[in-house]
Amino acid sequence: MSVGQAQTGSVVRAAGRAAVALHFDGDWPTPLAIEVQKDLNASLGERGVLVLPEGDPAARATLHLSPPSLGEPRVHVRVVEADQTVAAERELSLVREHPDTWSVAIAATADELLAATWSLPDVELNARVAPLAFEVSTPTSSLPPVRQPRRGEVGLGAAFEQYLPNAQVYGADLFGALAVTERLQIEVGVWFRDIASRRSASGDIYGVMAGGDVAVCGTVTRGPWVGFDVFAGVHGGFVWLDGRAFAEVSKRSVTGALLSARVGGRASLFTSDRTRLGLAVTAGVPMVTATARDVGRGVVAPRGVELGARLEAGWQF
């Protein structure tokens, strides 16, 4: 994988400067690869070394960078000469690095490796690519965990919803999400709700609901410990309403459909590299619904403005 083109071979030959080609092995996240190239251009440029795309004939060697590994993230850095011999290599651990500083650490390691291999003169490096002080002074236990990009998530939720003005429901959710991009996910779920009983003129009306959700979720911010997402989708299923104690009510039992349009937001606390606790709040408008009536008057119906909250526990993979 190559990202951009820093300079042309003709510029290098005209200036008589050393140059190294850059090659990103494997599958790199594009934003991280771009940042690494920017930091390499800055640090190596101060040593008089230009960074070129792979295959440029003016390059003295090729700098190979492996993508951060999963689990305990590591990057393998190699300097390969034109005759394909490995001049130098180093394994860089990113376990103690914040993800926002990965590009800095990778560029600093490549800079040091090339400087030692080619005996380049020492220069005062730009502060942006200087080694970070906490590499040796801060204990690992005090650093935040590294957030690896995930393909998806499965989880459980406990939900409460209020349909204004006359229905309260509560129950459980089973949901899953699949990442489309780094900041976009598709979420699907199944749910079950119990409808709080309500007194009518002839008795008590009660009911249950069950169905599924589909939503598109976008990441607004994602840090080492916390994150915030927004989402929009549909909430649909079936409603069963019936009466208790009086025959007049049971004769007016209702079975119907429910379909709501929803938007919401979710705050998350990452308890480990793979586990998450969250609180989602929603607002929606039922477009299709069912109503239980008694003596001609609507008593219970999931209709009107829909407000809800869900406590979540998720496992990311």
Sequence-ordered list of residues with C-beta below 8 angstroms from that of 53, at least 6 positions apart, any chain: 2, 4, 5, 6, 21, 22
Q: How confident is the model at residue 162 (pLDDT cuts 50, 70, 90)?
A: very high
Q: How many residues does the chain have?
A: 317
Are residue 119 and residue 161 in the same domain, yes or no? no
Tell me the percentage of the chain whose pLDDT exceeds 70: 79
Are residue 138 and residue 14 in the same domain, yes or no? yes
Are residue 124 and residue 158 in the same domain, yes or no? no
What DSSP string runs through 276-288?
Answer: EEEEEEEEEEEEE
Are residue 246 and residue 183 in the same domain, yes or no? yes
Quick one: pLDDT at residue 302?
79
Residue 208 lies in a domain: yes
Is 169's pLDDT higher than 60?
yes
Q: Are 74 and 92 in contact (CB under 8 A)?
A: yes
CATH, residue 34: 3.40.50
Is 230's pLDDT higher than 90?
yes
Sequence-ordered list of residues with C-beta below 8 angstroms from that of 311, at least 6 positions apart, any chain: 157, 158, 159, 277, 278, 279
* Structural domain ending residue among the three candidates 91, 112, 142: 142
* Structural domain ending residue among the three candidates 142, 167, 184: 142
What is the mean pLDDT of the segment spanning 79-99?
85
CATH, residue 245: 2.40.160.20
Tokens for 222? 């994602």
Residue 3 lies in a domain: no
Quick one: pLDDT at residue 26?
81
Residue 1 lies in a domain: no
Are residue 176 and residue 312 in the same domain, yes or no? yes
Q: Which residue has the higher pLDDT, 89 or 155?
A: 155
Is 232's pLDDT higher than 70?
yes
Are residue 14 and residue 66 in the same domain, yes or no? yes
Our CA dihedral for 268, 272, 273, 274, rounded to 10 degrees, sits at: -70
Are residue 174 and residue 307 in the same domain, yes or no? yes
Inter-residue long-range contacts of 216-222, CB under 8 Å, 24+ positions, other chains counted: 216/184, 216/185, 216/186, 216/187, 217/177, 217/184, 217/185, 217/186, 217/187, 217/266, 218/183, 218/184, 218/185, 219/182, 219/183, 219/184, 219/185, 222/147
Q: Which residue has the higher pLDDT, 142 or 106?
A: 106
CA distance 44 to 60: 14
DSSP 291: -
Are residue 302 and residue 161 in the same domain, yes or no? yes
Residue 216 lies in a domain: yes
Residue 147 lies in a domain: no
Q: What pLDDT, in 10s, does the model give residues 114-132?
A: 888 877 655 443 333 333 3
CA distance 195 to 300: 9
Quick one: pLDDT at residue 122?
53
Quick one: pLDDT at residue 17?
59
Tokens for 102? 């990965």
The pLDDT mean for the chain works out to 79
Are residue 43 and residue 190 in the same domain, yes or no? no
What is the mean pLDDT of the segment spanning 18-41?
86
CA distance 219 to 274: 17
Q: Which residue has the higher pLDDT, 96 or 210?
A: 210
* Structural domain ending residue among the three candidates 107, 142, 177: 142
Is 203's pLDDT higher than 60?
yes
User: Can you give the residue range of the structural domain that contains 307?
Assistant: 152-316
Residue 104 lies in a domain: yes
Which of 43-47, 77-81, 139-143 tops mean pLDDT? 77-81
Q: What pLDDT, in 10s, does the model give residues 237-272?
A: 999 887 766 555 444 567 889 899 999 999 999 988
Quick one: pLDDT at residue 13?
39
Is 187's pLDDT higher than 70?
yes
CA distance 55 to 96: 34
Q: Count of domains in the chain?
A: 2
Quick one: pLDDT at residue 139?
37
Quick one: pLDDT at residue 56?
82
Sequence-ordered list of residues with C-beta below 8 angstroms from that of 131, at least 6 positions apart, any chain: 105, 108
